[in-house]
A and B are shown apart, each in its own frame.
Chain A
């Protein structure tokens, strides 16, 4: 045990490890907050679709040789989020079909583009793997990316706290909310944009294929244990941060464990544990 702690202290001496932990915790916090709303609004698939879009957007940024990929990725993903939300209400292409179309399309085009315009690193499968599963990208964040992540996370948390009651109202009952003058449309738009931001943030941590796990698992776990919106939200946030922290530490100490999948694995464990506790206590 002492050896492990010693080992950990050594790793924590590196600034990039500290950055990774700060960003990881913030991203986990953001994704869990809005996860509750997404799960309850049956919007989980939008998160999934958007993560693939983010992958496509990132490849575009890569082949354009833009040094800092995040702003462009963010912009494209937000545009798609707004489009998807609109599509959910249109009758011509049903919401889920639109999501599927956009997400597989972005995935295929992204990979195609990466093959046609190879990046400088010359390690195509490594690049793709990093984008899809996160691998070590959280450990290679530049200082700009770290600051951008911190600022965006704080904005997301701030928005959530400020609009908490409205988000609750719009999630629970859209028709009542709009009838009494809470503009459900604007808040849905806000939710879609914020989710796009979260997804781009989380890409660094767990990669685009695994982002949904970060959004969905804490919310579902918390719903096994608690019964009011506030307690579910708080529980999801705490669970998500703890799981991310635990996953990160395991990944740092065990050299062969990739960060993203490790965090997701811890989340799965937490979900099973919560389900069990929920069953036993009869909730």
Chain B
């Protein structure tokens, strides 16, 4: 049984399909890259995986005890967050809220979980600092820690390296890889960074004019890569 299995999905808005006949699955411990140019339906796919928009056709099944709200999501940064007065600790703790139901305040367990994830992301010395004063890479680690508070099973990352310089990007990718390899966290990375995909991905799902789903090796050796590369670069 896979964590998530999608069959014959059609995605889009108001009856107009952007992606058709999409079938893929995510297994425990996978590192899946979802590649595609802008407008290929990546964001819609994310919303569908998170259960926020229903697919036009097809089915999504969550298995292995994964619940819909157990996906640790790392969204793209919004304008609002740039001047938001919030401490690192406040943001990371808010990752626990989804599972608290109507309980109004954090208990000891949630505070401890947050502290552990802050430590894991190497942010302990920054935990009282204001989010907007951190560097781009530090901000992403804060959001990663928050996502880890929501779940230890599956992370869904939406272009986490956007706007980061190459060195920080490499550090972030390294961190995500170690979460995947050492802690067994399943990772779905949505990106248009083809080179990173060829380096880190376990499996690749490419959506766009043509759909590819398979291992990184198969993706690399598939004659399709060339045409996809063109796709991605133009996108």
Instruction: Tell me the count of chain A residues lying within 8 A, CB to CB, of chain B.
Output: 30
Interface residue? B218 (CB, 8 A)? no
A219-262 contacts to B, CB under 8 A, are 223, 226-232
Instruction: Tell me the count of chain B residues lying within 8 A, CB to CB, of chain A.
Output: 40
Known: A42-B80, A165-B97, A166-B97. A179 touches B87 (CB 8 A): no
Known: A228-B86, A229-B87. A180 touches B80 (CB 8 A): no
Interface string of B64-77 (1 = CB under 8 A from A): 00001101111100
Known: A161-B104, A227-B130, A229-B87. A172 touches B75 (CB 8 A): no
Interface residue? A181 (CB, 8 A)? yes
Known: A163-B104, A181-B99. A175 touches B75 (CB 8 A): yes
A161, A180, A182, A231 interface centre (most CB from chain B within 10 Å): A180
**Which residues of A lie under 8 Å from residue B85 when comparing CB positions?**
40, 223, 226-229, 231-232
Specify which of A41, A168, A178 is in contact with B90 (CB 8 Å cutoff). A168
Decide if A172 touches B81 in the complex (CB within 8 Å): yes
Question: Roughly how many angstroms separate A154 CA and B90 CA in the complex, as a whole number?
Answer: 26
**Which residues of B lie under 8 Å from residue A228 when comparing CB positions?**
85-87, 90, 128, 130
Interface residue? B164 (CB, 8 A)? no
Question: Roughly how many angstroms separate A169 CA and B90 CA in the complex, as a whole number?
Answer: 9
**Which residues of B lie under 8 Å from residue A223 when comparing CB positions?**
83, 85
Decide if B146 touches A176 in the complex (CB within 8 Å): yes
Decide if B50 touches A172 in the complex (CB within 8 Å): no
B45-72 contacts to A, CB under 8 A, are 50-52, 68-69, 71-72
Q: Which residue of A has the minimal Cβ distance to B102?
A: A162
Q: Which residue of B has the minimal Cβ distance to A169?
A: B94
Decide if A181 touches B69 in the complex (CB within 8 Å): yes
Interface residue? A177 (CB, 8 A)? yes
B80, B85, B93, B130 interface centre (most CB from chain A within 10 Å): B85
Question: Roughly how many angstroms separate A171 CA and B72 CA in the complex, as a whole number?
Answer: 18
Specify which of A161, A168, A177 is in contact with B86 (CB 8 Å cutoff). A168
**Which residues of A lie under 8 Å from residue B121 when comparing CB positions?**
none
Interface residue? B136 (CB, 8 A)? no
**Which residues of B lie under 8 Å from residue A163 when comparing CB positions?**
104
Q: Which residue of A has the minimal Cβ distance to B98?
A: A180
Known: A180-B97, A181-B68, A223-B85. A172 touches B52 (CB 8 A): no
Report the 3 A-B pairs with minimum CB-CB distance, sorted nearest first. A181-B69, A180-B98, A227-B130
Query: Can you add 15 more A-B contacts, CB < 8 Å, to A165-B104, A175-B75, A178-B52?
Result: A165-B106, A168-B86, A173-B94, A175-B73, A176-B147, A178-B50, A180-B69, A180-B99, A181-B98, A182-B97, A226-B85, A227-B87, A228-B128, A229-B90, A230-B90
Chain A residues in the interface with B (C-beta under 8 A): 40-42, 161-166, 168-169, 171-173, 175-182, 223, 226-232
Chain B residues in the interface with A (C-beta under 8 A): 50-52, 68-69, 71-75, 78, 80-81, 83-87, 90-91, 93-95, 97-99, 104-106, 128-130, 132-133, 143, 146-147, 150-151, 156
